[in-house]
């Protein structure tokens, strides 16, 4: 079996190569992202392996199908960059639903603590031997209310961490986790009552711009907003305005609405063309990290293991518990009911 591996980074090779060799899978590594211009590189491959900023739209899927590719292996949980409906009957699409929910949840808390305790500012100061405490006053997390939007594995682990700090937790999810002991509320109530709001939901047309100008208007003055899920869950212009209006007290972002041509690249020697991102980064109460919440040794190993197993399952039986199908409505519905191959 052969994989055309797109958007390759050094840490990808380190995690995948050994496992691929053990499974007898040949990997062709490409630094280029998958799109309509690069899809032809997959000629001769049984599968393409892609990440969040690769594009598998209808045109790319048709090209891959004509080249004889049988599978799209997403080495991530999100799949908004793949036209699942168009892929049906042509290419099997599988993903990694949980590589390390602890990694993302822990990074979210790390961002929150860094922001509210001004750790990033203190770090920069002390490197210049400035030990002044002026401007470093933070606030306790204990007793604060955190609103969590999305209570899948990552969201629930983040909730556990918050409870460890003595925080009150309220949550919103279209599909509440039964028996979890989580207090579910409406989105409007969550916006009104939360001191801190953290996003842990997938990106769909329904969740796009969950936080927009209307949502921010309902929030407490000084609210802290965290996003380690998907960039378009937040309307970036509305967030920027909320910060300028002093309504949003702080924002911690590991993802960004228009990150595709920016994140995962070294742009330090270039002028950033995205004015909104440039203004966000310039704000003293905004922390932006480079979509790195998932990036731990454990997560990379789990991603590689699951991705290769997904390929072996589809190649062997045509069935995989991590297959995505537009007919399911939700990606887990078909796994509960499937009695045979998806197609």
Mean pLDDT over 102-124 rounds to: 97
Assigned token pair, 273: 């063309």
Active site includes 230?
A: yes
- Taken in order 338, 50, 17, 1, the sign of the CA dihedral is positive
Over the stretch 217-236, which tens digit does the pLDDT of each residue have? Answer: 999 999 999 999 999 999 99
β-sheet with 92-94: strand ranges across? 26-29, 2-5, 47-50, 71-74, 92-94, 323-324
Mean pLDDT over 126-153 rounds to: 97
Confidence of residue 337 (pLDDT cuts 50, 70, 90): low
Q: What is the pLDDT of residue 190?
A: 98
Q: Which of 75, 92, 107, 259 is catalytic?
A: 259
Active site includes 259?
A: yes
Separation of alpha carbons 46 and 210, rounded Å: 37
Greatest CA separation for the chain = 66
Asked if 234 and 213 count as a contact pair (C-beta separation under 8 A), the reply is no
The pLDDT > 70 percentage for the chain reads 96
pLDDT at residue 336 above 80? no
Active site includes 209?
A: no
Domains, the chain, ranges and CATH?
Answer: 2-99+297-337 (3.40.50.720), 101-288 (3.40.50.720)
Q: Which of 33, 86, 230, 323 is catalytic?
A: 230
Per the prediction, the chain carries an average pLDDT of: 93
Confidence of residue 98 (pLDDT cuts 50, 70, 90): confident
Over the stretch 58-71, which tens digit does the pLDDT of each residue have? Answer: 999 999 999 999 99
Assigned token pair, 117: 């305790």
């Amino acid at each position: 079996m052969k994989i055309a591996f797109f958007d390759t980074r050094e840490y990808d090779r380190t995690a995948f190569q050994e496992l691929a060799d053990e499974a007898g899978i040949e990997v062709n590594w490409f630094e280029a992202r998958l799109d309509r211009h690069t899809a032809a590189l997959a000629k001769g491959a049984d599968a393409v392996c892609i990440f969040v900023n690769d594009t598998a739209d209808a045109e790319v899927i048709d090209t891959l199908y004509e080249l004889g590719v049988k599978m799209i292996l997403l080495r991530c949980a999100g799949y908004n960059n793949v036209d699942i409906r168009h892929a049906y009957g042509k290419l099997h699409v599988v993903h990694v639903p949980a590589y390390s929910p602890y990694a993302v949840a822990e990074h979210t808390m790390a961002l929150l603590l860094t922001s509210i305790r001004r750790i990033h500012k203190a770090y920069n100061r002390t490197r210049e031997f400035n030990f002044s405490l002026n401007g470093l006053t933070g606030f306790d997390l204990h007793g604060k209310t955190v609103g969590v939007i999305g209570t899948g594995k990552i969201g629930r682990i983040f909730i556990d961490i918050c409870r460890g700090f003595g925080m009150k937790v309220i949550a919103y999810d279209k599909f509440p986790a039964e028996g979890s002991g989580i207090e579910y509320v409406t989105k409007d109530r969550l916006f009104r009552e939360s001191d801190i709001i953290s996003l842990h939901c997938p990106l769909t047309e329904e969740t796009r711009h969950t936080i927009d100008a209307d949502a921010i208007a309902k929030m407490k003055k000084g609210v802290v907003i965290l996003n380690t899920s998907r960039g378009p869950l937040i309307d970036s212009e509305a967030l920027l305005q909320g910060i300028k209006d002093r309504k949003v007290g702080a924002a911690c972002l590991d993802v960004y609405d228009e990150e595709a041509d920016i994140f995962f690249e070294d742009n330090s020697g270039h002028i950033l063309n995205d004015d909104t991102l440039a203004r966000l980064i310039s704000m003293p109460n905004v922390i932006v990290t480079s979509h790195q919440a998932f990036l731990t040794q454990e997560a990379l190993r789990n991603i590689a293991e699951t991705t290769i197993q997904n390929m072996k399952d589809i190649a062997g039986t045509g069935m995989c518990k991590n297959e995505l199908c537009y007919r399911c409505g939700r990606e887990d519905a078909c796994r509960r009911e499937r009695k045979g191959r998806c197609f």
